[in-house]
Amino acid sequence: MTSDPLAARLTRVPGPLFFPVTAYGPDGGLDLDAFRTHVRHGIDSGAAAVFACCGTGEFHALTPEEFRACVGAAVEESAGRVPVVAGAGYGTALASQYARIAEDAGADGLLAMPPYLVVAGQAGLVAHYTALAAATSLDVIVYQRDNAVLTPETVVALARAEGIIGLKDGHGDLDLMQRIVSVVRRDAPEQDFLYFNGLPTAELTGLAYRGIGITLYSSAVFAFAPDIALAFHRALASGDDKTVNRLLDGFFVPLVELRNAGRGYAVSLVKAGVRLEGLDVGEVRPPLTEPEAAHVEELARLIERGRALLEDGA
């Protein structure tokens, strides 16, 4: 950890936000050596931050002991080069427990995933996230998706809360996001609040989110093809829309179509991609299941096509 604020560190290094998969061995247990290699490769490839044990990292499938080990390993591999943000979820009590584990393991911040199962009102969501933020000294990014979709007024309340520094949007309603950005800017102008595009394969909506001023995003592709992800990130950031559209049409749109071919592919297909690139990170844990063999073969062809597009544009 460093004394610099997390928000400043997340915006200082240009690059996608890296969400590593969690590696398992042949017996299904944690493979920390493979996980460390995966994290180290991502940092060396240009990640702006490591988000460990979040959705792509199968937070739901990890025991507290495994969670602590993975977060600690990510912190050690980062060695302060980029921030490490850990997932925290379930109900308020358990989420706070995971937050304290992450703090003890040296994490720089937390990604607060939706509370488990229940569909809560806005006041309940505010109470949940503010209690989580109060549980540690770590800064918190709230993950909006599924059963935790927030109104602009709720986001204003969260932006004003001690320790909550940003909102990651996995819901995908651009009208809502524009209203959130506008209302927070109007009603909480003193807050330097961050916004993240957190949709699966966020590159697909990168142009749209850039249009409303949201440029930070998580990249699942970075986990298995960092060269393609970085080329897209550079093009999007520099306004090279010709390259952006070439990669969208030839790689990212077909990838999303493949991702939508099976349930849980937002995680299991990413893990298959990491294995295709030569690092054995094992299979996903139940209730997720592995992609069909034909879909893994199609993923291999897509990665090859994406790299051909990079060569064509060089």
Give the residue numbers annotated as catalytic, written as ranges: 143, 168
Amino acid at 283: E
The 10 Å Cβ neighbour count of residue 91 is 13
- Which helix (H) or strand (E) segment is 95 a member of? helix 92-104
Provide the CA 8 distance to its chain's centre, in angstroms.
Answer: 18
Q: What angle do CA 200, 16, 71 make, to 5 degrees?
A: 85
Inter-residue contact 151 to 122 (CB < 8 Å): yes
Considering only CA atoms, give the Rg of the chain: 18
Q: How far is CA 203 from the centre of its chain?
A: 12
Contact 221, 255 (CB under 8 A): yes
Q: Which residue from 145, 143, 118 is spatially nearest to 132, judged by alpha carbons?
A: 143
